[in-house]
């Protein structure tokens, strides 16, 4: 196959082809089928003058793949997206490229899909109140993902940008989801709390969250940055994609350990939750702290490729 004939999947095509539910179920299916995040290929993060360059390779089953992404913190102030990227999917046997796709759109879908895949096992069965911190792509994507696995009675949006917050609330209401602008104190009545921000310090008081709440934190992957305070981590059963990665990258966890209030050995791998090796501890809060790993992109990219192959005229 020549490079010119490699199919390109735009963000629009990606979202039109693969639903959030398909992505969630693909992640659960592959974890149950033997995918082990602990065996993921190494992610490389290089610091640049104006941000970061990330290389994220993975292999499982029929495919291998890699995403190359950039993170530019100053971009939003200049009217540009903070994250850009391209994903290349290869056949695992011939190692020939079979598709290229919008890496930014892939990330926008896979991150909330991963959260929902494990939240399906950790969240309370009844979700009267979902609080989401943030107003960007990941905030809205996580609301969509939570609505796949649970009926959500109401959503509160807590974010710094009043305009974007109001726009997200309006979109949710237009979709039929009751929603309103909220404050950090709303966590006291939430069954599910999502943090999808660029914050570098804790967003709320962990002492306020209910004993049966689920907290999903996806906004950071740096050892000195956190969205959750030590109290939240210390109170909770903490689930991560892979303990080794979390102990290297998840500031929410690393700083709690550094303060002597959490033991790294207590971290639970999400694969163990999905397979039933570990069950949710409903006597205390649960936390899913996501750092983002290459296998997640591969699972969703492969599922997208299969779905396109099954759809005529693709």
d(CA 171, CA 269) in angstroms, rounded, equals: 34
Average pLDDT score over residue span 237-246: 97
CB 266 within 8 A of CB 238: yes
Judged by average pLDDT, the poorest of 234-238, 289-293, 309-313 is: 309-313
pLDDT band with cut points at 50, 70 and 90 for residue 296: very high
Average pLDDT score over residue span 189-202: 96
pLDDT digits 0-9 by tens, 87-115: 999 999 999 999 999 999 999 999 999 99
pLDDT band with cut points at 50, 70 and 90 for residue 3: low
DSSP string for 262-304:
--GGG-EEHHHHHHTSS---TTS-EEEE----HHHHHHHHHHH
Pairwise pLDDT comparison (82 vs 182), residue with the higher score:
182
Q: Is the pLDDT of residue 80 over 60?
A: yes
Q: Is the pLDDT of residue 314 over 60?
A: no
Claim: this prediction has a pTM higher than 0.85 = yes
What homologous superfamily does CATH list for 113-293? Answer: NAD(P)-binding Rossmann-like Domain (3.40.50.720)
pLDDT digits 0-9 by tens, 201-228: 999 999 999 999 999 999 988 899 999 9
Q: So what's the pLDDT on residue 64?
A: 98
Domain boundaries, the chain: 3-107+295-310, 113-293
87: enclosing H helix or E strand = strand 83-91
**How much of the chain, in percent, has pLDDT values that exceed 70?**
98
3-state secondary structure of 4: helix
CA distances from 194 to 64, 116, 141, 215, 286 (A): 31, 11, 11, 6, 12
Q: So what's the pLDDT on residue 242?
A: 97
Judged by average pLDDT, the poorest of 69-73, 105-109, 192-196, 255-259 is: 69-73
d(CA 89, CA 184) in angstroms, rounded, equals: 41
pLDDT band with cut points at 50, 70 and 90 for residue 155: very high
Q: Is the pLDDT of residue 287 over 80?
A: yes
pLDDT band with cut points at 50, 70 and 90 for residue 313: low
Angle (nearest 5°) at CA 250 between 27 and 263:
105
Q: So what's the pLDDT on residue 284?
A: 98
Pairwise pLDDT comparison (45 vs 201), residue with the higher score:
201
pLDDT band with cut points at 50, 70 and 90 for residue 81: confident
pLDDT digits 0-9 by tens, 157-166: 999 999 999 9
Q: Which CATH number is associated with domain 3-107+295-310?
A: 3.30.1780.10
pLDDT band with cut points at 50, 70 and 90 for residue 45: confident
Q: Is the pLDDT of residue 1 over 80?
A: no
d(CA 5, CA 94) in angstroms, rounded, equals: 16
Q: Is the pLDDT of residue 264 over 70?
A: yes
């Amino acid at each position: 196959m020549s490079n010119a004939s490699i199919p390109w999947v735009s963000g629009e095509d990606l979202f039109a082809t693969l639903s959030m539910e398909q992505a969630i179920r693909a992640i659960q299916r592959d974890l149950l089928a033997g995918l082990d995040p602990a065996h993921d290929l190494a992610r490389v993060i290089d610091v640049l003058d104006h941000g970061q360059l990330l290389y994220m390779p993975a292999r499982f089953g029929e495919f291998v793949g890699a995403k190359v992404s950039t993170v530019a913190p100053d971009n939003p102030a200049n009217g540009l997206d903070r994250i850009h990227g391209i994903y290349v999917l290869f056949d695992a046997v011939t190692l020939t490229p079979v598709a290229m796709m919008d890496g930014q759109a892939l990330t926008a879908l896979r991150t909330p899909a991963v959260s929902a895949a494990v939240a399906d096992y950790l969240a309370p069965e009844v979700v009267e109140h979902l609080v989401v911190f943030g107003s960007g792509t990941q905030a809205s994507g996580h609301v969509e993902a939570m609505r796949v696995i649970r009926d959500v009675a109401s959503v509160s949006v807590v974010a710094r940008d009043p305009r974007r917050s109001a726009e997200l609330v309006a979109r949710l209401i237009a979709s039929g989801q009751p929603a309103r602008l909220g404050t950090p104190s709303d966590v006291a009545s939430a069954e599910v709390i999502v943090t999808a921000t660029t914050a570098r310090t804790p967003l709320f008081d962990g002492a306020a969250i209910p004993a049966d709440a689920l907290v999903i934190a996806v906004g950071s992957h740096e050892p000195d940055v956190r969205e959750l305070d030590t109290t939240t981590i210390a109170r909770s059963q903490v689930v991560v994609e892979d303990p080794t990665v979390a102990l290297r990258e998840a500031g929410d966890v690393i700083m709690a350990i550094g303060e002597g209030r959490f033991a790294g050995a207590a971290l639970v791998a999400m694969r163990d939750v999905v397979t039933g090796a570990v069950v949710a501890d409903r006597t205390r809060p649960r936390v899913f702290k996501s750092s983002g790993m290459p296998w997640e992109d591969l699972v969703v990219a492969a599922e997208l490729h299969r779905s396109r192959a099954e759809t005529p005229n693709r």
